[in-house]
Amino acid sequence: MRVPLNSGTWTDEEHKGFLRGLEVYGHGNWNAMAVFVLSRSPPQIEAYAQDYMAEKETAHDLQQVALVYTSFPRQASTSASRL
């Protein structure tokens, strides 16, 4: 029996299946990963992966900025120090 394909927002269960497929088959094996996300097609999985990776990259970039920002000691800003 074939499971009908979903569209729109991914469910938590679909996301968990995506992560499991990513762990088992790696990035790019969308057809194989479809075994873990029966309610999505390989092109849907690929599109979701692109969004997921972009979101992870953005989060990583923000962490790096925060790390750099907190690594430098802050100097007191007073009007006398600007003279």
What's the whole-number mean pLDDT along residues 42-67?
83
| Residue 77 confidence (pLDDT) above 80 | no
Nearest to 28 by CA among 45, 9, 8, 12: 45
Residue 79: per-residue pLDDT: 54
CATH architecture of 12-70: Orthogonal Bundle (1.10)
For the chain, give every domain's residue range: 12-70
Percent of the residues in the chain that have a pLDDT greater than 70, as a whole number: 69
What average pLDDT does this structure show over 51-76? 71
pLDDT of residue 58: 81
Tell me the average pLDDT of the chain.
83
By residue count, the chain amounts to 83
**What single DSSP character describes residue 81?**
G
Average pLDDT score over residue span 2-28: 92
- What is the distance between the alpha carbons of residues 36 and 15, in angstroms, rounded to a whole number? 10
Contact 21, 35 (CB under 8 A): yes
Q: How far is CA 82 from the centre of its chain?
A: 43
Nearest-angstrom CA–CA distance, 69 and 73: 9
